[in-house]
């Protein structure tokens, strides 16, 4: 094997010498070992997941590494590693691949997640692994190396590229394959180049951001010399995270482009455990699935976080992506944060997140969507105007489409009024422009539904009110929700229809600034108008003639085809100001945004326009305050 790099020697010392452990890291590994022991299937030597399936690629390798770290069940951990290694295909078209669960289909995703953990175990062979385990892991890692050597560049330029880089670096280091280590470094440089050109295209979210930080943490373990690309990536990702991290604890401010529900629940999730180990904060209740993300962070940062001197309120703006642009606005105050995004969504997206800081470890209020769609938002401070656009509506299983605003749990909800009348707690139908005011968390939260229905319809296509306000769930665990339908019917149409819209305004105000009645009156004053404008123009058909000589020749009408577009204009009056949003409904993209007299760019030049990061497209270096750089990169 290679001569171990300094970072790897430190990890080995941490895993093999109890005297060198930080208490937090030791407790974390013990918690993972205990959690896995309760799920261990002794006959298969695999850990079972929450659904009772025997895990191969994620939980079992993490549990084995955690056991090695705290000297618990060494024999069982060795048996588990041999079992996992046996699932790695060593020949044929699937060489190097393994399934997520026993009996599953081998996949490259599972290989990239399992590879760094198995490589870390292999590099500890001298102290903790049996000869049989060492041999089995070596065969498995060599097969993974064959697969990674011929793997094409990942389609995703963000998280998937980092995961492939980690797998290459880990397997190459464990099996003395310098070419793989070099490919891992090259993929890291490719990730940084794409981040400079397009930003972090996979967006924010507890799952996505945990993968980014964990991948950089594993690269720090495996790379013998950390290149400048790693330092720039480390500063970029941590700089973005720390400015959205509340001092009182809790989740990061920000919307979630991709998310899993289990990653955002109270006192859990990969980001919570990762941040606890990195920043020397209380661990909470770590889960076995958190191990992959947090295990490379064996030591906290060298000191406490410096004062970032963020403004109050702090507004953060992001403009990422190319073909499918991603825009996000975040407003952070000491008491609450609100984040909204403009993006193409799926059912796992959370495009609006509101969190009462210090009171919860997950977003308190949020928006979820029924299916894939596009959302355009316009946010200023703690007020957001949103319009959601669904395509291909009317065929099963997509006969009805909706968005749901989760206002918060019952224990946090005070007064609720609908059209200035106290709400009695029973489900109630809500119409357009009805004002809903809620007292929660020392703040008032207001919801005003706007147009809901087909984009070009002059009036509602259904004679029912588009919204339902109700408690969802049972007892104290229930949450106040407002579901807004664009099409509520469940029968099929003759053919699917496009551009079913749902508009809504969400407002948050501190209770100390005005009375509940005044806030309700502000909601009642909201007005909106919608308008549609069709445009058409002629475009020359593809001409096979000479590109220069025939360019200016007169052409008959038949040489052209007509292209059409429909602009959807939504005008809202909020707090005495006029908010305007114009969207090209065919292409599902905003073409004009304004608040009052200020016209906002629909394609900003700045990728990161935040208090800590000011980076235009194709930036070269990440600039952060010097004391923060020294904390993140000590000695550099």
pLDDT at 19 exceeding the cut of 60: no
- Please compute the mean of the pLDDT values over residues 403-423 and round it to a whole number: 93
Where is average pLDDT lowest: 251-260, 404-413, 596-605? 251-260
632 contacts 301 by C-beta, under 8 angstroms: yes
pLDDT at 16 over 50: no
Q: Is pLDDT larger for residue 280 or for residue 14?
A: 280
Which pLDDT belongs to residue 205? 87
When mean pLDDT is compared across 83-92, 224-233, 295-304, the lowest value belongs to 295-304
Question: Would you tell me how many other CB atoms lie within 10 Å of the CB of residue 437?
Answer: 26
Q: Please write down the HEC assignment for all residues of 327-343.
A: EEEEEECCCEEEEEEEE
| Per-residue confidence band for 119, with pLDDT thresholds at 50, 70 and 90 | very high
Average pLDDT along the chain: 88
Distances (CA, A) of 258 to 331, 371, 515: 20, 13, 37
pLDDT over 90 percentage in the chain? 61
| Strand-pair category, 577-584 with 614-616 | unpaired
Average pLDDT over residues 256-261: 77
pLDDT tens across 134-153, in order? 999 999 999 999 999 998 88
Read off the pLDDT of each residue in 352-368 and give the average, rounded to a whole number: 80
Asked if residue 563 lies in contact with residue 534, where contact means CB atoms within 8 angstroms, the answer is no
- 442, with CB counted inside 10 A (0-12, 13-18, 19+), is middle
Number of other CB atoms surrounding residue 464 within 10 Å: 12
Residue with the two structure tokens 């964990």? 214
Euclidean distance between CA atoms 516 and 514, whole angstroms: 7
> Is a pLDDT exceeding 90 seen at residue 261?
no
Q: Spell out the residues 6+ positions from residue 596 whose beta carbon is closer than 8 angstroms to its own.
A: 577, 578
For residue range 181-199, list pLDDT tens digits in order. 999 999 999 999 999 999 9
Residue 277 to residue 105: CA distance in whole angstroms: 34
**2/225 Cα distance (integer angstroms):** 13
DSSP 54: B
> How would residue 534 be classed by pLDDT, with cut points 50, 70 and 90?
confident
Q: How far apart are CA 297 and CA 108, in angstroms?
A: 25
pLDDT for 211? 94
- 3-class secondary structure, 37: helix
Q: Are 582 and 590 in contact (CB under 8 A)?
A: yes
- pLDDT above 90 (res 516): yes
Question: 571 or 282: whose pLDDT is higher?
Answer: 571
Read off the pLDDT of each residue in 206-215 and give the average, rounded to a whole number.
92
Lowest mean pLDDT among 262-271, 587-596, 624-633: 262-271
The predicted pLDDT at position 550 comes to 65
Q: State the average pLDDT over residues 224-235.
A: 94
Higher local confidence (pLDDT), 480 or 442: 480
DSSP string covering 282-324, please? ---S--GGGHHHHTT--S--SSPPPP----SSEEEEEEE-SSS
pLDDT tens digits for range 517-531: 999 999 999 999 999
20, pLDDT greater than 50: no
Q: If you average pLDDT over residues 530-534, what whole number do you get? A: 88
- Mean pLDDT value across residues 438-444: 90
Per-residue model confidence (pLDDT) at position 32: 93
- Of 564 and 220, the structure prediction assigns the larger pLDDT to 220
Please state the rounded mean pLDDT for residues 85-114: 94
pLDDT band at 113 (very low <50, low <70, confident <90, very high): very high
Closest CA to 22 of 292, 284, 223, 283: 283
Q: Which of 309-313, 396-400, 526-530 has the highest mean pLDDT?
A: 526-530
Residue 614 to residues 241, 311, 342, 622, 625, Cα–Cα distance (Å): 14, 15, 20, 9, 12
Q: Would you say residue 360 has pLDDT above 80?
A: no
pLDDT in tens, 570-626: 999 999 999 999 999 888 889 999 999 999 998 888 999 999 999 998 999 999 999
pLDDT score recorded for residue 330: 96
- Mean pLDDT, rounded, for 254-273: 71
Q: Which ranges in 500-606 belong to alpha helices (H)?
A: 516-524
Q: What does the pLDDT average to over 91-118? A: 95
Give the closest residue to 431 by CA, choosing from 457, 468, 400.
Answer: 468
Confidence of residue 21 (pLDDT cuts 50, 70, 90): very low
Q: At what angle do helices 108-122 and 74-86 cross, to 10 degrees?
A: 140
């Amino acid at each position: 094997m290679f001569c171990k790099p300094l970072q790897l020697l430190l990890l080995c010392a941490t895993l093999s010498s109890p005297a060198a452990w930080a208490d937090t890291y030791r407790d974390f590994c013990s918690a993972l070992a205990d959690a896995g022991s309760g799920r261990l299937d002794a006959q298969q030597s695999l850990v079972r997941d929450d659904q009772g399936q025997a895990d191969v690629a994620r939980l079992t390798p993490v549990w084995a590494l955690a056991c090695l770290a705290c000297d618990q069940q060494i024999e069982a951990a060795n048996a588990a590693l041999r079992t996992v290694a046996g699932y790695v295909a060593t020949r044929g078209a699937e060489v190097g691949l393994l399934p997520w669960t026993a009996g599953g289909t081998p996949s490259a995703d599972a290989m990239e997640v399992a590879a760094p953990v198995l490589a870390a175990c292999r590099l500890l062979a001298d102290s903790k692994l049996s000869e049989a385990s060492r041999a089995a892991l070596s065969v498995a890692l060599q097969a993974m190396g064959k697969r990674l050597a011929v793997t094409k560049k990942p389609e995703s330029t963000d998280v998937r590229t980092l995961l492939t880089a980690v797998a290459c670096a880990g397997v190459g280091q464990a099996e003395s394959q310098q070419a793989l280590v070099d490919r891992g470094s090259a993929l890291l440089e490719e990730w940084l180049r794409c981040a400079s050109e397009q930003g972090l295209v996979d967006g924010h979210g507890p799952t996505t951001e945990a993968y980014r930080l964990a991948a950089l943490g594993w690269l720090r373990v495996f790379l013998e010399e950390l290149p400048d690309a790693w330092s720039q990536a480390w500063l970029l990702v941590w700089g973005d995270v720390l400015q959205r991290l509340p001092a009182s604890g809790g989740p990061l401010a920000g919307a979630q482009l991709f998310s899993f529900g289990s990653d955002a629940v109270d006192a859990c999730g990969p980001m919570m455990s990762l941040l606890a180990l990195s920043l020397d904060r209380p661990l909470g209740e770590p889960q076995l699935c958190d191990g992959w993300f947090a295990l490379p962070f064996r030591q906290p940062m060298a000191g406490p976080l410096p004062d970032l001197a963020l403004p109050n309120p702090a507004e953060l703006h992001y403009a990422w992506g190319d073909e499918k642009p991603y825009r996000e606005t975040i407003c952070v105050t000491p008491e609450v944060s609100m984040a909204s995004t403009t993006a193409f969504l799926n059912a796992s997206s959370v495009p609006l997140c509101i969190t009462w800081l210090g009171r919860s470890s997950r977003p308190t209020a949020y928006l979820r969507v029924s299916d894939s769609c596009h959302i355009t938002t316009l946010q200023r401070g703690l007020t957001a105007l949103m319009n959601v656009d669904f395509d291909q509506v009317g065929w099963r299983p997509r006969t009805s489409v909706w968005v749901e605003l989760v206002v918060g749990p019952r224990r946090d909800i005070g007064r609720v009024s609908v059209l200035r009348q106290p709400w009695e707690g029973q489900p109630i139908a809500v119409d357009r422009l009805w004002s809903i005011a809620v007292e929660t968390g020392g703040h008032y939260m207001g919801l005003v539904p706007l147009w809901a229905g087909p984009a070009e319809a002059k009036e509602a296509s259904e004679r029912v009110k588009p919204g339902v306000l109700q408690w969802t769930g049972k007892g104290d665990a229930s949450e106040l929700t407002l579901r807004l339908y664009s099409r509520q019917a469940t029968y099929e149409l003759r053919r699917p229809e496009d551009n079913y819209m749902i508009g809504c305004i969400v407002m948050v105000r501190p209770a100390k600034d005005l009375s509940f009645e005044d806030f309700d009156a502000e909601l009642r004053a909201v007005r909106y108008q919608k308008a549609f404008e069709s445009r058409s123009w002629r475009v020359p058909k593809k001409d096979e003639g000479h590109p220069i000589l025939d360019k200016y020749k007169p052409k008959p009408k038949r040489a052209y085809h007509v292209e059409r577009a429909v602009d959807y204009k939504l005008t809202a009056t909020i707090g005495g100001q006029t908010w305007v949003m114009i969207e090209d409904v065919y292409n599902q993209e905003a073409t004009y945004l304004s608040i009052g007299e200020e016209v906002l760019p629909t394609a900003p030049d700045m990728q990161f326009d935040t208090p800590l990061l000011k980076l235009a497209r194709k930036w070269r270096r990440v600039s952060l305050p010097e004391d923060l750089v020294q904390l993140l990169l000590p000695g550099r």
